[in-house]
Structure 1
Amino acid sequence: MASSSSSSLITLPSKKYDVFISFRGADIRDGFLSHLREALRQNEANTFVDEKLDRGEEISSSLLEIIEESYFSLVILSENYAYSPWCLEELVKILECKKDMEQMVLPVFYCIDPTHVQELTGSFGAALAKHREVFNNSLDKVESWCQALREIAGIAGLVSHNIKPDSELIKEIDKHISEKLNDVFPSHSFDEGLVGIDSRVKDAQSLLCLESTRVLGIWGMGGTGKTTIAEKLFDRISDQFNRRCFAANVREKFEKYGPDLCRKEILFQVLGRESCNLGLPTRRRLSREKVLIALDDVSDSDQIERSIGKPAIYGPGSKFIITSRDKQLLRNMEAQIYEVEKLNDCESSCLFRFHAFKQDIAGKDYMVFVREGR
């Protein structure tokens, strides 16, 4: 079975999110965003929305990283969008990712005239005039916002005035995003080379879904597919949880950056806001949340403790997936352990055919070829 590193058929590097949505909450009609997110979820798009974040003047480093970790950015430009320095900083980052990382971007002109964005008139002109007064010591920043607004206005997008009602606009957004993501990930590319993965994900899921299981440990040697199983299991059940986070390469991140960054990243995804510690207020909040957290490639119990604390502090129904080469570590976590099975003869044959011939070859001649070792 191929591990996560074997998904070489995908041309872009693996990212955490399919879609990042940038918007000004006060301008969006009640229900529009929730219906949009549900439509994207139905198409299995993993979407990040920063609606629960406190909006200050300075955008958080964690949010900038999340934009980088998204394949697609949806920018909903509304009447008061440009009044938010936070939104404008998001936009600058999104366009940087479009240029440097080939991120896909779709602007939606929601209840506004696109020419106001392009020409910086109307509410957009008024907002930038206000920013020039407030940020008179850093006008270069304001100019970067102006350039970003002109650039996003030059990208082909959707205009709500031309697509009514909102339900039709949501369909068009969902259709556009789904088509673009499908271009990046053809439907067959996820399964080619991942021989035997579905049965193993189902086995792991059956253990995790036991009422008594709070922590599922996925154990096996390097290259056996632990990460791939964890990723697919996480995607399969994530919509059952209020909060969720998949933390990849935990061991490597601890070695390179230390525990603080790892903990900050995880808490940011789980709580939707900046938090650097697991103090009493944070633990009190976590005790009310049903979460799904996956920690990939853990080599030491300290990495778990300093990243998420003890699983017991999280709310009822919370589940944890931990992949590791250390079986004793998982036992110490009182985890239900799924041992990744080796490929059987049939699966090994399929995997060999795929890599040797780049297709699923079967038949009498092939079996003779294999058995005789030609």
Structure 2
Amino acid sequence: MKRKLIALVLLILPLNMLFAQGSSKHPLNISLWDPVALSPCDSMSTTNATFGFSSKTYKLKGVGINLFAHFNEKAVNGFTLNGAGEFLKGNMTGAEISGLFNVVSGHMHGLQIATVQNTNVLHSKGVMLAGITNFTIGDAQGVQIAGITNMAGSHFSGVQLSSAVNIASSSSDLFQMAGLVNVCAEPINGIQISLGNYAGGVNGIQLGLLNLCGGDVRGVQIGIINHSKDTSAVKIGLVNISPRTRIQLLAFGGNTTKINTAVRFKNHHTYSILGIGTHYLGLNDRFSGSLFYRAGAELPLTKKLSLSSDAGFSHIENFNNEDLTTPERMYSLQLRLNIEYHPLNRLGIFASGGYAHTRYYKAHRIYENKPVIELGIVLF
């Protein structure tokens, strides 16, 4: 009997010494809702593990698992798992996983996972995964992956991936990939891939349908429309615009479409043209038209006279007016040689001659091959 009593005392004594160190140590907390808890939160407490429906701790060094939420006043160093959210007034080091929100008012170093949103107020470093939005106010470094939007209000270095929008105020090293738009207000050193991209400057690559750069490009822009304030930038696209690009309006008619309007983007001795034409001749009396793109080069002969040549693609739309010999839509590959005269700086006239090869989209048949003749004016 004495031996059993001595053994029981030896077991209780270490636990008693642990709790006797003062109110600063709360190894275990079971909480329904603060202050209904085994170890209510106080300004001197450090908790090693907290479990319950909703709990509040001052400092957590260990594990926190709550069906609803966890609230922390000072700091968390460890792992937390919450059904709804994690709300920290202080710093977080470790991993936090929540069903809805993670909010850290201090510094965040580690991993954040939330189905709705992760928010960090001060400096953050690590990985943020959110079903909808990741949002950092202070400087951030690491990886942001969101279902819809990533936003960095200050300097961000790392990777942003989302289905819709990535936004960074500034960055040194950045990789952005989004389904719709990437934005960095200041110059970046890195890569942007999206339908639309904007950066204050680019030392790297912009890849998208629309690429805009507010400064210099030390790299390449690849897209349908590329714009920069750097005249020496490398642009690969259908329309390339720089400060020296001259944007002109063309109005002309010809033996393929009766009335045509187009915009020409002229860069030194090269140019591209985007336009629309109505009533494609030879189809029928009902409405038809075409959308076309041309790219070419110009050779000045005198100050007012020049020769140019271009190749183009034209989509021909007959809408619902097809018949046995005329399909609903076709395409045409065209080559032209042009002569242009400018009696005034902002007014010119031109004549074009060339050849068009027109085919069906579906039948893989030739609709027609014929010469092309056009006459028109140039404005601006």
TM range, normalised to the smaller chain? under 0.3
Task: Tell me: higher relative CO, structure 1 or 2? Use CA pairs within 8 A at least 6 residues apart.
Answer: 1
TM-score, reference length from structure 1 = 0.17
TM-score, reference length from structure 2 = 0.16
Larger radius of gyration: 2
From the two aligned structures, give the one with the greater strand fraction: 2
From the two aligned structures, give the one with the greater helix fraction: 1
